[in-house]
Structure 1
Amino acid sequence: MSRPRDDRADGTGNPVRSGSAARHTDDPAVGPARHLGSTRGMPGWLKIGTGIISILLVGVLAFGAYWAVRLQGNISKAALGAGSDKTEAAVNDSNDRMQILILGSDSRDGKNSQYGTSDDATGYGHSDVMMLMDISADNKRVSVVSFPRDLLVDTPKCTDQKTKKQFPAQQDVMINAAMTEAGIGCAVDTVNKLTGLEIDHFMMADFNAVKELSKTVGGVEVCISDAVYDPDSRLRLPKGTSKVQGEQALAFLRARHAFADGGDLGRIKAQQGFLSSLTRKMKSDGTLSNPVKMLEIADVVTKNLTIDEGLASIPTLLTVGNRLKNIDVGKVAFVAVPTVPAVSDPNRLQVAEPAASQLFAAMRKDIDLTDPTAPPSPSASASPAASASAAPTPSETAPAYDKSLQPVTVANGSGTPARAQEIMKVLTGSGFTQISQFAAAPVAATAVYYGEGFAEVAADVASELGIPAKQVLPAGVVGVQVYVGSDPAGGTKGGTPGAEAPVELPDDIVNQTAGDVVCQQANPTLITR
Structure 2
Amino acid sequence: MGRGRDERDNEADLSAGPGPVSRHADGGAAGAARHLGPLRTMPLWLKILTGVVAAVLVGGIAFAGFWFFRLQGNISKAPLNAGGGSTESPANDATGRMQILILGSDTRDGKNSQYGSADDSTGYGKSDVMMLMDISEDNKRVNVISFPRDLLVDIPQCTDQKTKKVYPARSGVMINEAMGEAGIGCAVDTVNKLTGMQVDHFMMADFNAVKELSNAVGGVEVCISDAVFDPDSGLRLPAGTSSVQGEMALSYLRTRHAFADGGDLGRIKAQQGFLSSLTRKIKDEGTLSDPARMLKIADVVTQNLTVDDGLASVPALLTIGNRLKNIDIGKVAFVAVPTTPAPTDPNRLVIAEPAGAQLFSALRKNVDLTDPTAPTTTAPAPGESATPTPSPTETAAPVPPYNKAIQPVTVANGSGVPGRAQELVQALVSGGFAATSQFQAQPVAKTAVYYGPNFADVATDVAALLGIPAEQVIPLPAIQGVQVYVGSDFTTGTAFGSGAPALPSDIVNQTAGDKVCQQANPALIVRQ
Report the TM-score when normalising by structure 2: 0.70
1:514 lines up with 2:509 in the alignment = no
CA distances 1:418-445 after superposition (whole Å, capped 9, x unpaired)? 6735853899xxxxxxxxx999974799
Q: Which residue in the other structure is 1:86 paired with?
A: 86
User: 2:310 — aligned with what?
Assistant: 310
**Does structure 1 retain, via aligned residues, the 8 Å contact 2:404–2:433?**
no
Matched with 1:528 is: 526
Do the aligned partners of residues 284 and 167 (structure 1) sit closer, same or farther apart at CA in structure 2, a change above 3 Å counting?
A: same
Instruction: Give the C-alpha shift of residue 91 in structure 1.
Output: 1.1
Q: Deviations over 1:116-175 (max 9, x none)?
A: 013135421000100000000000000000000000000000000001010000011100
Q: Find the counterpart in structure 2 of residue 420 from structure 1.
A: 404
Provide the residue aligned with 1:455 in structure 2: 441
Once the two structures are superposed, the pairs formed by residues 7-22 of structure 1 within 5 Å of their partners are none
Asked if the contact 2:410–2:437 (Cα under 8 Å) also holds between the matched residues in 1, the reply is no
Alpha-carbon spacing, 1:284–1:439, altered in 2? closer, same or farther (3 Å): closer
In the alignment, is the contact (CA less than 8 A) between 2:428 and 2:436 conserved in 1? Answer: no
Match of residue 489 from structure 1: 467
Q: Do the aligned partners of 2:407 and 2:435 also contact (CA within 8 Å) in 1?
A: no
Task: Specify the code of the residue in structure 2 equivalent to 1:205.
Answer: A
Instruction: Give matches, 1:86-165, under 5 Å.
Output: 86-165=86-165
Q: Which amino acid aligns with 1:366?
A: N
Aligned residues: 401
- Residue 247 of structure 1 is matched in structure 2 by 247
What secondary structure does 1:69 align onto?
helix
Q: 1:107 touches 1:118 (CA, 8 Å); kept in 2?
A: no
**Equivalent position of 1:13 in the other structure:** none
Any conservation in 1 of the 2:406–2:434 contact (CA below 8 Å)? no
CA distance in 2, matches of 1:423, 1:75: 60
Tell me how far apart the structure 2 counterparts of residues 367 and 443 of structure 1 sit (CA, whole Å): 25
Counterpart residue identity of residue 203, structure 1? M
- Name the SS of the counterpart of 1:68 in structure 2: helix
SS at match of 2:102: strand
Please report how far the alpha carbon of residue 499 of structure 1 lies from its aligned counterpart in structure 2 after TM superposition.
Answer: 3.1
Task: Tell me how far apart the structure 1 counterparts of residues 95 and 432 of structure 2 sit (CA, whole Å).
Answer: 34
Question: Is the contact made by 1:224 and 1:240 (CA closer than 8 Å) also made in structure 2?
Answer: yes
Q: Deviations over 1:272-322 (max 9, x none)?
A: 000000000011111111111111111011000000001110011111211
Question: Secondary structure of 1:366's match?
Answer: coil
1:273-312 pair list within 5 angstroms: 273-312=273-312
Distance in 2, Cα, partners of 1:87 & 1:439: 29
Give 1:84 shift: 1.1
Instruction: Give the Cα separation in 2 of the matches to 1:137 and 1:168.
Output: 36
Asked if structure 2 preserves the Cα contact closer than 8 Å seen for 1:340 and 1:351, the reply is yes
In 1, Cα distance between equivalents of 2:267 and 2:77? 29
The percentage of counterpart residues that share the same residue type is 68
* Residue 487 of structure 1: how far off its partner (Å): 3.9
- In angstroms, what is the RMSD of aligned CA positions? 3.4
More helix per residue? 2
In structure 2, relative to structure 1, the CA distance for the partners of 1:312 and 1:489 (3 Å cut) is same
Q: Deviations over 1:80-101 (max 9, x none)?
A: 0001132211111111000000
Query: CA distance change for structure 1 residues 450 and 312 in 2, over 3 Å: closer, same or farther?
Result: farther
CA distance in 2, matches of 1:323, 1:445: 47
Structure 2 partner of 1:176: 176
* Counterpart code for 2:404: A
In structure 2, give the amino acid aligned to 1:249. Answer: A
Larger mean CA deviation between 83-92 and 153-162 belongs to 83-92
Distance in 1, Cα, partners of 2:92 & 2:300: 27
Q: Which runs of 5+ in 1 are unaligned?
A: 1-61, 376-415, 428-436, 467-483
Question: Displacement, 1:339?
Answer: 0.3
Change (3 A) 1:284 1:374: farther
**Bigger relative contact order, structure 1 or 2 (CA pairs below 8 A, ≥6 apart):** 1
Partner SS for 2:335: strand
Provide the rounded CA distance (Å) in 2 between the counterparts of 1:417 and 1:259.
54
Separation of aligned partners in 1, 2:244 and 2:355:
35
Tell me if structure 2 keeps the 8 A contact 1:448–1:458: no
Could you tell me whether the CA contact under 8 Å between 1:444 and 1:487 is conserved in 2?
A: no
Question: Of residues 487, 498, 501 in structure 2, which corresponds to 1:500?
Answer: 498
**Equivalent residues of 1:148, 1:268 under 8 A apart:** yes
Aligned partners of 2:511, 2:286: CA distance in 1, in Å?
A: 20
CA gap of 1:235–1:465, structure 2 versus 1, over 3 A, is farther
What is the distance in 1 between the residues matched to 2:79 and 2:507? 32
Where does residue 320 of structure 1 map in the other structure? Answer: 320
Give deviations 1:180-201, integer Å, cap 9, x for gaps. Answer: 1100000000000000011000
Q: 1:374 to 1:368 in 2, by over 3 A?
A: farther
Q: Structure 1 pair 526/136, CA: closer, same or farther in 2 (3 Å)?
A: same
Structure 2 CA distance for aligned equivalents of residues 286 and 279 of structure 1: 11
Which residue of 1 is the match for residue 69 of structure 2? Answer: 69
